[in-house]
Structure 1
Amino acid sequence: MNRRELSGPGSGVPGIRAVRRAAPVLVLAIALICGAVAAGMLWNAGARADRALAAHRHQVQATTTGRAVDPPAVSRQNVVPRSVAPAVWEYPDNVHRSGTVQVPPRTPQGRTVAVWVDDNGAPARPPATGADRALTALAGGTGAAAVAGAVGVGVIAAVRRCAEGGRLAAWEREWEQVEPVWSGRLRRGSGPGTGEE
């Protein structure tokens, strides 16, 4: 019996080897597709949410009535540090408002700054930019691709482990039949007095 015959059932079959090679590529393709679909869905959902929010956000010009106050040390981790200052503005038309708004650091009193307000004229978060939406979609798509890839790798590993266990068990059974002949040792129950010679 040659080495290929001793290597276990299915181990030398070209189709199985091709499937083994194709499985990681298939997992990668599925992970990329999942990532792209997730990113697209997040982009579209973000665009709808941003359009809805933008309909209720208004940019107005406010005038500071005091000097800017630096942000506390805890918030200095922001990419763009923002200070706050008291200010006055009008929104809706001819309705005077006042409050604390975000301003660039070291903004002096009497400076005009652009602020975002809601439909009632209260300071509000500005609508997200396309860059913010792209970053969210990219992060979500990358996360979805990573999860899909990890699941795929886990499935491949589990299938390979099961297949390997089956191959080893079959190899052991075949070896029990071949080893006595191959090594010259007689099998149990054979020889003189057993009726087998």
Structure 2
Amino acid sequence: MSDKIPGTASRSWLWRWRRNQLRRHGDVVEAWIVLAVWALALVGGALVGWAAAGAVDQTFAGRRAGVHAVSAELTENATEGPLVGSGYDVGKSWVTVRWTAADGSMHTGRAKVLPTATAGSGLQVWADRSERLVPAPPSTAESTFSAVMAGVLVAQLTATAVWGAGWLLRHRLFQQRLADWEAEWQRVGPQWRNLSGGKG
């Protein structure tokens, strides 16, 4: 069982806000710093994280809006094309495909397909507004996940930065408090020693 009196921890912080003889100006400043750090870390971190998530989501949405899916046809067997040597598609082959744009014009490009694909088979590819083949855009679920993760990460980094700045300020106040105590002791200490010597 804990031997701490309930409410002791909260009162140890609240005394800085109440008028008393032991409270100094530095204690009031420290209390405001703690309050500001809490507010900025929680509210500021959440707002910055929300903004970062929104920016990432808009970026992905813009990317999806700039491309469109087209049905293409292989013009050669996959075994005739060079193999993909790196990335997530290692083992696939580069082949030439062709497709018809919405305006009826014919286009060709290079796409990655499974090594078993044959000429004349169909596949879905993605093209930009200039009818150039581009990688597939992230799905809505992938975009949402990336946006949420970015928001959480930015919120954590922001809160950490705020806490770090608050800790530095409180550390400087603590150092100043020690210096003030030392100066006061240099002034009062000799008087106490004189009084103690007189009693002896």
Q: Shorter-chain TM-score: which interval?
A: 0.5 to 0.7
Paired residue for 1:130, among 115, 140, 144?
A: 140
Q: Distance in 2 between matches of 1:111 and 1:95?
A: 20
Cα-to-partner distance string for 1:47-70 (whole Å, 9 max, x where unaligned): 2x135414xx24223234222543
Paired residue for 1:37, among 25, 47, 51?
A: 51
Does structure 1 conserve the Cα–Cα contact (< 8 Å) formed by 2:127 and 2:134?
yes
- Mark the CA change 1:41 to 1:121 in structure 2 (over 3 Å): closer, same or farther: closer
- Mark the CA change 1:178 to 1:135 in structure 2 (over 3 Å): closer, same or farther: same
Percent identity over the alignment is 23
Which residue in 2 is equivalent to 1:161? 171
Shift of 1:127: 3.6
Does structure 2 conserve the Cα–Cα contact (< 8 Å) formed by 1:60 and 1:91?
no
Superposed CA RMSD: 3.6
Tell whether 2:71 aligns with 1:60: yes
Structure 1 gaps of 5+ residues are: 1-7, 192-197
Structure 2 gaps of 5+ residues are: 1-21
What count of residue pairs does the alignment treat as equivalent? 173
Which residue in 2 is equivalent to 1:3? none
Q: Distance in 2 between matches of 1:174 and 1:119?
A: 76
Q: Distance in 2 between matches of 1:104 and 1:67?
A: 7
Paired residue for 1:89, among 99, 109, 130?
A: 99
- Mark the CA change 1:17 to 1:120 in structure 2 (over 3 Å): closer, same or farther: closer
Q: Distance in 2 between matches of 1:31 and 1:156?
A: 14
Cα-to-partner distance string for 1:93-140 (whole Å, 9 max, x where unaligned): 654433322223432333221122334543233343223422442354
Q: Distance in 2 between matches of 1:126 and 1:144?
A: 27
SS of the aligned residue for 1:162 comes to helix
TM-score normalized by structure 2? 0.64
Q: Which has the larger radius of gyration?
A: 1
TM-score normalized by structure 1? 0.65
Which residue in 2 is equivalent to 1:26? 39
